[in-house]
Amino acid sequence: MRFNLTKEFIDQTKTAIAANDADWLKLNVLDLHFADIAEILHPLTNAEAKFVYFLMDEDQQSEVLMELEEDVRDRFLASLSTQEIASQLENLDSDDAADILGELSDKKVQEVISLMQDDEAAGDIVDLLKYKDGTAGSLMQKEFIKAKIDWAIDRALLELRRQAEDVKRVYTIYVVDDSDRLMGVLSLKDMLYSKPKTKIADIYNEKNIISVKTNEITEVVAKTMDKYGLVSIPVVDLQNKLVGRITIDDVVEFIKEEADKDFQMASGISEKVEHSSSVWKISRARLPWLIIGMLGGTMSAHVISGFEEQISQVTALAFFIPLITAMGGNVGVQSSAIVVQSLAKGSDIFSNVFKKVGKELLVAILNGVLLSTIIYGIGILFEGAKLAIVVSLSLFTVIIFASVFGVLIPLGLKKFKVDPALAIGPFVTTLNDIIGLFIYFTIGVYLYKF
């Protein structure tokens, strides 16, 4: 029932295109689901993709266009004339059309808009382009179904049939008053089972209607839809007039992007990059963290140089430098990871910081005792009792410190409105390196009685 793209199929498709074999393509490609067609277009050249694309009807074209991956779509659109782009946009949902225009130059946007035949569609798109990126306004679409509160069901059905032509997926009908203010919602199910003369006012649901304002940020939109379990949410302007709706697919996209961003930030990558980004962009995204890491390394060097005298007497002290720094880093990252996740989920974990730190301390003591016992055993075999004690004691101390810092640093960043995911990156590791080394050599100095 589901299509699986094979290399053979792509080859067959390419051969059919080369032979101008529209019949084969209609039979084998155009009958597929639009998501599958998009997958087939990905490995084709622009010219080949264009050939297949213009065999499809308008509805199919717009669905397939939105299924293409962003870079493939950009490449493909760049190969179309302004006139062709304009006619493609007319068949898209307004939010998708605005997204596509957002990727073009200002000059090209003007040209495309002026070439659009459908004034209403063009107006909707222009309107959406006004909203700031990352707000509900920029995410919403103008296609939704609304009914006036004083209509009867039969009148509503007539009007809705007209509206429904433009709306691909109908989840909910929004009920508005004469000035377009959102009053409530009505499900298709309710309409289906009401008598023709029933007034909407008598059957609509006015309780606990959840909506967002146009200037709400995407994160709030996502959290609201998640909390209230909605597949679409109405968007109202500052006067509570209904201006659009946001559907769950856009929000799922956002959730995934956020997770990606956190993951990259925790890995020390400061800009959103993809595998396909340019070498220059990838380098630039990584550089800030590497420079911080390098300055941290220089400071570590400075700390160690303060103990030059001792190292020259007991060279073996240098052997365990990487163990101490690595363990400080690992422990710090582990304990900050959970704090960062709780913060991302919106938990109010400031409420009892002391309890959290206390718990981390218990975990740290448990793991610290175990690990420092093991390293003591290894140390004795390797380098004798004295160094074993130094390494084991410092490892324990470093684990305790790193755990506590791991909790406090993301909380501190959050307090200062900095993304706490930063904490997991080189930031925590670098800081723990420096503190860990200081602890290690100080304990060394003390025990060796230098």
Select from 242, 207, 256, 247 the least CA-distant residue to 225. Answer: 247
Distance of alpha carbon 346 from alpha carbon 97, whole angstroms: 32
List phi, psi (to 5°) of 316: -60, -20
Closest CB to a copy of itself among residues 112, 388: 388
**18 lies in the site for a copy of itself, by CB under 8 A:** no
- Residue 109 Cβ vs a copy of itself, minimum distance, rounded to whole Å: 26
* Strand ordering across the sheet containing 182-186: 145-148, 173-176, 182-186
Q: Which residues partner with 99 through β-bridges?
A: none
Q: Where are the alpha helices (DSSP H) in 345-450?
A: 353-383, 385-415, 426-448
Q: Which of 19, 47, 192, 238 touches a copy of itself by CB under 8 A?
A: 192
Q: Determine phi and psi for 322, rounding to 5 degrees.
A: -65, -35
Which residues, 39 to 78, sit near a copy of itself by CB under 8 A? Answer: 67
Q: Please report, as residue ranges, which positions from 95 to 124 form the binding site for a copy of itself (by CB under 8 A).
A: none
Stretch that binds a copy of itself, among 86-94, 121-129, 134-142, 373-381 (CB under 8 A): 373-381
One of 13, 141, 214, 224 touching a copy of itself (CB under 8 A)? 224
Q: Residues 235 to 264: which contact a copy of itself by CB under 8 A?
A: 248-249, 252, 255-256, 259-260, 262-264
Tell me: does residue 315 bind a copy of itself (CB under 8 A). yes
Using CB under 8 A, which of the segments 76-84, 97-105, 135-143, 267-275 binds a copy of itself? Answer: 267-275
User: Binders of a copy of itself among 382-421, rule CB under 8 A?
Assistant: 382, 395
Identity of the residue, 16 or 395, whose beta carbon is nearer to a copy of itself in the bound complex: 395
Q: Is the sign of the CA dihedral 165, 169, 174, 180 positive or negative?
A: negative
Angle at 4 between CA 10 and CA 60, to 5 degrees: 75
188 binds a copy of itself (CB under 8 A): yes
Chain residues 147-166 in contact with a copy of itself, contact rule CB under 8 A: 157, 160-161, 164
Supply the Cα-derived Rg of the chain in whole angstroms. 30
The stretch near a copy of itself (CB under 8 A) out of 19-27, 106-114, 131-139, 191-199 is: 191-199
With CB under 8 A as the contact rule, which of the stretches 71-79, 103-111, 223-231, 410-418 interacts with a copy of itself?
Answer: 223-231
Please give the residues from 285 up to 304 whose contact with a copy of itself meets the rule CB under 8 A: 286-287, 289-291, 293-294, 296-298, 300-302, 304
Burial of residue 414 (number of CB atoms within 10 Å: 0-12, 13-18, 19+) = middle
Structure tokens at 418: 């900095």
CB 419 within 8 A of CB 265: yes
Q: Which two tokens stand for residue 85?
A: 């782009």
Amino acid at 320: F
Find the shortest distance in angstroms from Cβ 293 to a copy of itself. 5
Pick from 426, 431, 438, 444: which binds a copy of itself (CB under 8 A)?
Answer: 426
- The DSSP-derived string for 134-155 is TBHHHH-BS--EEEETT-BHHH
Q: Which CB sits closer to a copy of itself, 119 or 308? A: 308
